[in-house]
Amino acid sequence: MSKRYKISISHLSFLVKALISVIYGYSLTLIPHSFFKDRESYRYYIENAELYIDNLKDNLFLFLSEPVFLVFNYFLSRSLNWDGVIDFYVFFIAFSFCYLTLAFSKNAFLSVFALLLLLTWPSLWSLQLGALRQGLAVAFVAWSLYFLGNTKKFLLAVFFSGLIHISGFLVAFVLLADRVLLKLPPSKALSYRAAVFFICSLVMAFLIGVFLSALPIKQAHYGEVSANVGGGLFVIYSLVLLSVLFNRFKHKEIDKFGSIMVLGFSSYLGLYFFSPIAGRYIDSFLLISLFFLIKSFTYRNLFLISFLSLINAYLFFNGAGETIMTVHMEEIFDLW
């Protein structure tokens, strides 16, 4: 048989991963819009896309208004109904998450765990079906990392993602601050940089909390959010972070995915008890963290993936998965 008719293993692998991702993405679009709390808000965004675009012209805070997302809505709404636009977003996010997870995974066994985490990790579930703006930004960052690596161009891409969802600016700030720290001799150690990010985010969150608490309008809301924060996730993410850092001490190396994960987790833990944005903030780092854990098959990664799978499955099926929904989880299972 001629070589041009032969399908290489890599091409076959690509087709299989793409097919699985298409099925995965399409399956999530079949869940009715009425099952999710924020769909009406997105409907309003889409149906009034032209009005939002007009308002951008006189907006002094253009870059903080997520203009790229508004532009997406405007152009897509010219050819699709509001539900078609949302289905497109859901499919793109879910396809991206699934395909890139399979692409970065080096082990079929870990891939299965990773796909289960995409569905049962409450934060990743929310990014795919609830917080679609942030999901689009995370998908864009993930594709940028896939094609560009951890380069200056990648940093620009992360900054651009902030025009889709403002969380991208926070991630870009962390990566930029880390590049500055790397120029200082003591800061080349990842554990040192992690400690710096933890302390700085802790102090910053505390000071912002004190400031907001002094404002009569914000006081009740901020106190309510802070009071509802428990310590469970703090313990879970601390254990994951310490495990990764311990492996760093033992093997003296960690890749770009691990570095981003450590910086994100460290700053998140600093924000945890004092900032209501901590939950949304860490969501931007979770997909890349998942990539890090599945890129190589080690006992450490197997343990962490298993640990996260069990913990998140428990949380997911005990109410965490329903926080973005208007119905109980059983109604989704009934669809299939």
Q: Taking the domains of the chain in order of start, what are their residue ranges? A: 10-335
Lowest mean pLDDT among 63-67, 85-89, 151-155: 63-67
Do residues 87 and 53 lie in contact, with contact meaning Cβ atoms separated by under 8 Å?
no
In the prediction, which pLDDT does 103 show?
92
Which amino acid is residue 285, in one-letter code? F
pLDDT by residue (tens digit) across 220-232?
344 433 434 457 8
CA distances 4 to 1, 7, 11, Å, are 8, 8, 12
Rg, C-alpha atoms of the chain: 21
Lowest mean pLDDT among 19-23, 102-106, 202-206, 253-257: 253-257
In the prediction, which pLDDT does 271 show?
87
Q: Once rounded to an integer, what is the mean pLDDT over residues 245-260? A: 69
Q: Which residue has the higher pLDDT, 138 or 326?
A: 138
Residue 165 neighbours by CB under 8 Å, 6+ apart: 66, 69, 133, 134, 136, 137
Residue 228 neighbours by CB under 8 Å, 6+ apart: none
Q: Tokens 């008719």 — which residue?
A: 5
Which amino acid is residue 36, in one-letter code? F
Containing 135, the helix (H) or strand (E) segment is: helix 132-148
Whose CA is closest to 274, among 331, 204, 197? Answer: 204
Split at pLDDT 50, 70, 90, the class of 18 is very high
Ramachandran sector of residue 30 (left: φ over 0; alpha: ψ -120 to 50; beta: rest): alpha
pLDDT by residue (tens digit) across 103-150?
998 888 888 889 999 999 999 999 999 899 999 999 999 999 999 876
In the prediction, which pLDDT does 92 show?
97
Whose CA is closest to 74, among 57, 94, 61? Answer: 57
Residue 325 φ/ψ, nearest 5 degrees: -115, 160
pLDDT by residue (tens digit) across 33-78?
999 988 999 999 898 888 888 777 766 667 777 888 988 998 998 8
Tell me how many degrees the CA angle 17-22-24 measures, rounded to the nearest 5.
95
Q: Tokens 């560009």 — which residue?
A: 148
In the prediction, which pLDDT does 225 show?
39
Whose CA is closest to 121, among 144, 92, 101, 143? Answer: 101
Give, to the nearest 10 degrees, the angle between helix 190-213 and helix 256-271: 30
Query: What does the mean pLDDT of the chain come to?
Result: 83
Q: Which residue has the higher pLDDT, 298 or 325?
A: 325
Lowest mean pLDDT among 213-217, 305-309, 321-325: 213-217
Tell me how many degrees the CA angle 80-85-91 measures, rounded to the nearest 5.
125
Split at pLDDT 50, 70, 90, the class of 1 is very low
pLDDT by residue (tens digit) across 48-57?
888 888 777 7
Q: Once rounded to an integer, what is the mean pLDDT over residues 309-320? A: 90
SS3 278: helix
Do residues 297 and 106 lie in contact, with contact meaning Cβ atoms separated by under 8 Å?
yes
CA distances 63 to 49, 52, 132, 134, Å, are 17, 14, 19, 15
Q: Once rounded to an integer, what is the mean pLDDT over residues 200-209? A: 80
Q: What is the dihedral of CA 251, 143, 96, 276, to 10 degrees?
A: 80
In the prediction, which pLDDT does 98 show?
96
Q: How far apart are CA 14 and CA 26, in angstroms?
A: 18
Whose CA is closest to 62, among 162, 136, 157? Answer: 162
Whose CA is closest to 126, among 321, 331, 330? Answer: 321
* Most distant CA pair in the chain, distance: 77
Give, to the nearest 10 degrees, the angle between helix 167-182 and helix 190-213: 140
